Chain A
């Protein structure tokens, strides 16, 4: 067969196959090199002292414990707010909404939100949360900014999984005399935990990697605080700390260590998200 093919077709075949293989390999090599480089330069610098202390000017040591805690606080606070909002919106869209126009408007708004660059979130967050609401530059203002940013992700994943709950379950519950809210509480939400958890993991990943939106809302401080005091005061997350150490202070060793930690956490979050979405897919298929 192949021998009978015109040389032009044969060339097309070869070139296209070569291009596909080459670019796929390039993507793989690029990722492997990037991850390998960051880990190789960052991991040797990670020490117990680095992750368990705060920066000290007296001893001239750098510690990133405050940044780790700030990241954790921001993550907890944003998730605690965005989950009820996002899941609630998804419940409204799939269970309550009768008007197509309202559904379309909400979905369009969510889509618009997911396209807005994080620097704009940072700017508007600064105007609204820091200045108008008077929260000043604080972790809480940063967390609220991230709530708005992650709302579309949570709405979408929750909506997808609410749709996988079979209609017959709802009808069964209605038939037994349950009201709508009771059906949602006891049948629909428990049946869509997977999707809600997936949305939660995806948001956690975005929060972990976000920096531009936090620069002007959460600030740069490295103070060691408890949860509630921390929320009220300014603080750098790991990503913002990385930026400051690398760009403003030239502390590349610390920057690489933070980058390696971020990379490992991202890897872990990706694995968790993959596992959850596989589970979700299996349920949709069954």
Chain B
């Protein structure tokens, strides 16, 4: 091959390498873009309202004659709602995952895998619709409250929505436990159940923890389903009260907002983003610990 041709081939290779590098960097650029835009859009309103009145103010009345922009109700609702969804969803998901990973016959597994996949694939507006028409009336008649659209309805919907990720991730962690551990435990005379819950589960505990953290992230970030069942009034959280989450606070006023109100919505999104980043960091910590082991 003559030298010129080889040189041009090398330049072409270098150029292609550069193109792929640029494409690879798109993901980083996207994260930076999202972070920068959220900070730039979220800071002005916080400056004007003041950080403490914004975060800890108990009253949100963005369109009143004397507007108030306190988002404590949203923050607390998001925290309570997520905690409730975790308290309800994690036990169900955990026991299901142990059963599917360890004890279930092949036929049951073959049925449950697509079932869990289906639960994960159902669009959130469909969850919202079912919640609106089954859950909300049910809560109204069972608890005899004037309106069933409440924090409780949101908690139940969220707990179902986080089920598939909890089941999938915990089951994957349980599947990865070395068979030797279980065999050793069984050989020592432990029953199957004792083996699963006292040997396999502790061995997979960081994976199960990761599943819970993932569930927290899902619940904190869900908007549409919650918007359809939680009632959307900016109350302080209470189980049978109509409430607004951080996500729904952004979504419900965005389309008609203007001025400081609009800027405050971006600030809420920034707070939500910080929450999610915190959860992500926690998730990474849990996963790193597993790798280190």
Residues of A within 8 A of B (CB): 5, 9, 12-13, 16-17, 19-24, 26-28, 30-32, 34-35, 37-38, 84-85, 88-89, 91-93, 95-97, 102, 105-106, 109-113, 115-124, 127-128, 148, 151-152, 155, 179-181, 205, 208-212, 215-216, 239-240, 242-243, 246-247, 252, 255-256, 259, 262-263, 266-267, 269-271, 273-274
In the complex, what residues of A have CB within 8 A of residue B93's CB? 23, 27
* 3 nearest CB pairs, A to B: A117-B221, A209-B123, A88-B23
**Quick check: is B115 within 8 A (CB to CB) of the other chain?**
yes
Chain B residues with CB under 8 A of A112: 31, 277, 280
CA distance A271 to B93 in the complex (A): 22
Contact of A89 with B221 in the complex, beta carbons under 8 Å: no
A contact residues around B30 at 8 Å (CB): 109, 113, 148, 151
B17 touches A180 (CB 8 A): yes
9 CB contacts below 8 A, A to B, read A17-B103, A19-B95, A116-B221, A117-B222, A124-B38, A181-B13, A216-B254, A252-B133, A263-B126
A117 lies within 8 A of B276 (CB): yes
> Given A106-B28, A179-B13, A247-B227: A16 and B126 within 8 A (CB)?
no
Q: Is A115 a contact of B279 with CB atoms below 8 Å?
A: yes
Q: Are A13 and B126 in contact (CB under 8 A)?
A: no
Q: Are B122 and A117 in contact (CB under 8 A)?
A: no
From B47-55, B104-112, B139-147, B236-244, give the one contacting chain A.
Answer: B104-112
**A-chain residues with CB within 8 Å of residue B27 when the two chains form the complex:** 89, 106, 109-110, 113, 151-152, 155
Pick the interface stretch among B56-64, B68-76, B178-186, B190-198: B190-198
Give chain B interface residues in 160-210, CB to chain A under 8 Å. Answer: 160, 163, 167, 191-194, 196-197
B residues less than 8 Å from A21 (CB atoms): 99
Residue among A12, A31, A35, A110 having the largest count of chain B Cβ atoms under 10 Å: A31
Task: Enumerate chain B residues within 8 angstroms of A123, measured Cβ to Cβ.
Answer: 38, 250, 254, 266, 269
* Nearest-Cβ distance from residue A1 to partner chain B, whole angstroms: 9
Cβ < 8 Å to A, chain B residues 1-59? 9, 12-13, 16-17, 19-21, 23-28, 30-31, 33-34, 37-38, 41
CB-defined contacts of A267 to chain B, threshold 8 Å? 118, 121
Interface of A is mostly: helix
> Do B129 and A115 touch across chains, with their CB atoms under 8 A apart?
no
Are A31 and B115 touching (Cβ within 8 A)? yes
Question: For A271, what are the chain B residues with a Cβ–Cβ distance below 8 Å?
Answer: 114
CB distance from B44 to the nearest CB of A (A): 13
CA distance A13 to B198 in the complex (A): 12
Q: Are A27 and B112 in contact (CB under 8 A)?
A: yes
With a CB–CB cut-off of 8 A, which chain A residues contact B126? Answer: 38, 242, 259, 262-263
| Cβ-based interface call for B134 (8 A) | yes
In angstroms, Cα B115 to Cα A32, docked, is 8
Q: Is B154 an interface residue (CB 8 A)?
A: no
Q: How far is the CA of A240 from the CA of B272 in the complex (A)?
A: 22
What are the residues of chain B within 8 A of A96 when measuring CB–CB? 17, 20-21, 24
B273 at the interface (CB under 8 A from A): yes
| Contact for A116 among B194, B196, B273, CB less than 8 A | B273
